[in-house]
Copies of this chain bind each other. A is one copy, B any other.
Amino acid sequence: MASSNKTPTINDVARAAGVSKKTVSRVINRSALLKQDTRKKVEAVIAELGYVPNPQARALALRRNFLLGLLHDNPNAQTVLNFQEGVLDAIRDTEFALVVRPVDRHSPKMLEDIRHFLEQQRLYGVLILPPISENDELAALCREMGCGYVRMGSAPLDDEEHIVASNDREMVESAVDYLVESGHRRIGIIKGPEGFRSALERSEGFMAAMRKHGLAVPAELVAQGTYRFESGLDAAGQLLDREQRPTAIFCSNDEMAAGALHAARQRKVSVPADLSIIGFDDSPIAAHIWPPLTTVGWPIREMAKAAALKLVAPADERAQDYIFPARLVQRQSVAPPPDKF
């Protein structure tokens, strides 16, 4: 009963089982070269003592730890949280844990801060969420420091082992297809902020789709947003105040779509009767506003899971995927355009 009050170590197990530390270590690590008898005996002692290996000691001896990092400056809380859950799906029942690190994209010291963080924590690998995932210097930093990394993005902007991406471009196309099928011809767009790859993908996807249908996109149907609610309000306001306003607006994310809905309401423009609105992301807000928003959703959780697996089990077949299909979520913000058009 000498050490009944402190957690048992590998030595305690070895002594109690009458074997060497190394043998216990072999049992823990499921080494193949062990007699069944010995394994059983040691396992019994482990269970009896309630022994759990010390991760710090393991990390030291193995010269690598079991910590994954999540680097993000994503403004959408639900996205971040879904991603966290997806990562947890992948590492549940392993010894890995997830460390979070929000970063400030606007800070000039951002890269330096991250370098410091990586040096200090010596993570096994990091997962990087957009928009900072688009920063190539950051990826270079990870490579330089020998830290595994996987970037999440709207397009394949790195090798497939380092990326999980949605096919935003195609999905915007199908959103536009849907609007056109519903009878719309005069379709406006609220773009995302410059410098965001996703914003670029979405607006280019939009332009390409419109071109495909032989529809013009005059400058007066294009408004610039910042991915934030208020910017959607402003941008939709501009669009709706044009001489000839659009019958449908594609918003590059749901927050801005919510703002656009708001702008329409202020102007007594009824959605979807007078104006159709389509968003992007399928964030929770999309289902909780009126009318419920038709939008494009992507499988964040699956992407997160695959991203984590790329780091912790790169050979796993589930870690091979790197392009994930988004899908159109039809709700009630799209209808055929009013007759007069």
On chain B, the residues within 8 Å of A97 by CB distance are 67, 99, 101, 121
When distances are taken between beta carbons in the complex, the residues of chain B under 8 Å from A55 are: 120-122
Q: When the two chains form their complex, are residues B99 and A99 in contact, meaning their CB atoms are under 8 A apart?
A: yes
Closest to A266 in B: B290
A interface, by DSSP: helix, strand, loop or mixed? Answer: helix
Chain B residues contacting A289 (CB-CB under 8 Å) are 258, 288-290
Asked whether, in the complex, the Cβ of A52 is within 8 Å of the Cβ of B120, the reply is yes
Nearest residue, chain B, Cβ from A254:
B288
1/0 per residue, CB under 8 A from B, across A59-83: the answer is 1100001010000000001101110
Contact-residue size bin, chain A (C-beta under 8 Å from the other chain): 35 or more
Residues of B within 8 A of A84 (CB): 100, 102
Cβ of A116 to closest chain B Cβ, rounded Å: 8
Contacts of A52 on B, CB cut-off 8 Å?
Answer: 119-120
Contact A288 B255 (CB under 8 A): yes
CA separation between A119 and B55, bound complex, in Å?
10
Render A260-293 as a binary contact track against B, CB cut-off 8 A, 1 for contact. Answer: 0110010000000000000000001101111000
Q: Is A182 interfacial (CB-CB < 8 Å)? A: no
Contact of A98 among B81, B100, B119 (CB under 8 A): B100
**Nearest-CB residue, chain B, relative to A5:** B146
The 5 closest A-B pairs by CB, nearest first: A56-B59, A77-B77, A77-B81, A77-B78, A52-B119
